[in-house]
Structure 1
Amino acid sequence: MSSATELMGKLTSSTAPFPCTFAVSAAKKASLRFGFIDDLDDQETWAALPGIIASYLETYQQIARETSLIVLFRPERETGDVAHYYRKFWDVLQYLHRHDPASWPDGIPEDPEDGRWEFSFAGTPIFVVCNTPAHKRRASRSNPEFMITFQPRWVFEELDSSSARGIAARRVIRKRLRAFDSEQPSPELGSYGDPENREWRQYFLPDDNAEKPGRCPFRHGAHGATPAARGEGTGD
């Protein structure tokens, strides 16, 4: 069974409903798109990734309101721990930033500690989610292959935290998370634009709620290795 087929089965399961109702709806509507990268540890194989994302962003609004791009990386010979994948995740986002074909979009702050910051590529703000084979307790963030999901902010435009649909969707997702995971929903889950919310903390959640994120590894305009890649981990 291919990794994409296995994932689709997980998203459309009726016996163990996946928490993210947006992903479930996209899977059922065939509005998910997939990209594949050969080697998580070899950045030369990442060269296709900017083009994969840019191509998706050229057409995503014609696909469906509920759409995402899922990028799967070939499984490693040995599974790393959560900290290993945390570093790799931020390496990938920094790599994309270095190879971004467009300027950072107007209206999106450059500082990740701003409540309106969002990772952006090709001029498009994007919510990013990482799944790894090291996640166990937080099954909603677990996947046999390292996986990154890119969801354009446009997907959530009609689901802000003050709308009836947005409130209802968040309530359902939290309920499903409690049933799906062995850990309570992360306290880092918040609403975009809330001054207290930090989007980057939601991108890569630790496997339990005991670990607290430190400083964001992403550096706007930086061309060197991220702090995560230098081994500085999640703490300050």
Structure 2
Amino acid sequence: MSRLYLRKDEVRSGHQVGSWQSVLFSEFEAQMSSEARPFPCVFGVSGYRHDQLRYLFLDPIDIDVLGKQLALFVSESRSHGPNTSLVLFTRPRPVQTLDAYYKKFWRILDQLARIDKQPWPAEIPETVDHPMWEFSFAGEPIFVVCSTPAHVMRQSRRSSAFMLTFQPRWVFERMLGTDEAAAKAFGEVRKRLLPFDTTEPSPMLGRYGNPEGREFKQYFLYDDNQPPPACPFHQLAQAKPSSIGDKEQAA
């Protein structure tokens, strides 16, 4: 399959003004480029400014297409720059509840794991509820962020449609390799979160590998600071498959 994800200039030139792709990308650009209200994820902002992010638009979400594009992105990611991520935009649809988006998010990760042609990395536990677990695809550990239109108080996780960001773990390892670097980066993120969201920074956020922390709890943050529902999967690609469906409410 040929490359479907795009650079900034390709998005602008490839999608007509007023199309759903153009509208969502304009919103994303405004969020990433604001100096008056800096977006909290310093990695994402740097990646955007240096054109290291890649953008994929799918309507509806086709897991086979997403899997092939994610595998291609993983294979090329180190050539994109030190702050790269693959950002998946979906067409706006009627807004659902956070619970519905939470279930949808985990179904997508589970179905991606089912079609992954590479073995799960030996150094990453397969049990989701483990401090060293991380979603992995095509042999690469990946931190995943879900943003939805149902997020209200947590504006740092809000978008006008269901959106996923796949960030290779090596991006963090390069930036957070020492305790000093990690403290500086997390301090900057927290400083930006406080005025950006109308709720306190989530207690779920933390450094990878912390014995008390869990990566899966950071992927999808609710508006309040209560723990998210239990992950629906003990281990990905183990339970009976569940279809996402072309007629989903994918907003």
- Judge same fold: TM > 0.5, yes or no: yes
1:213 matched to 2:228? The reply is yes
Deviations 1:74-117 (A, max 9, x none): 111x1101111111100110110111111101110011111100
The two structures have a TM-score, normalised by structure 2, of 0.84
Contact 1:37 1:46 in 2 (8 A): no
1:27 matched to 2:48? The reply is yes
Residues in 1 aligned to 2:194 and 2:240: alpha-carbon distance in whole angstroms: 39
What's the CA shift for 1:161? 7.0
Summarize the alignment of residues 1-236 of structure 1 with structure 2, pairs less than 5 Å apart.
Answer: 1=18, 2=22, 3-39=24-60, 45-76=62-93, 78-160=94-176, 162-209=178-225, 211-218=226-233, 219-225=235-241
**Identity, % of aligned positions:** 43
What's the CA shift for 1:61? 0.5
What's the CA shift for 1:160? 3.0
Residues in 1 aligned to 2:142 and 2:157: alpha-carbon distance in whole angstroms: 18
Q: What is the CA RMSD across the aligned residues, in angstroms?
A: 1.4
Question: How many residues matched?
Answer: 220
Residues in 2 aligned to 1:38 and 1:214: alpha-carbon distance in whole angstroms: 28
Secondary structure of the corresponding residue to residue 146 of structure 2: strand
Structure 2 partner of 1:231: none
The two structures have a TM-score, normalised by structure 1, of 0.89
What's the CA shift for 1:22? 0.6
Query: Which residues of structure 1 form unaligned runs of 5+?
Result: 227-236
Residues in 2 aligned to 1:71 and 1:214: alpha-carbon distance in whole angstroms: 24
Distance 1:213 1:133, change over 3 A: same
What's the CA shift for 1:162? 4.0
Secondary structure of the corresponding residue to residue 124 of structure 2: coil
Secondary structure of the corresponding residue to residue 143 of structure 2: strand
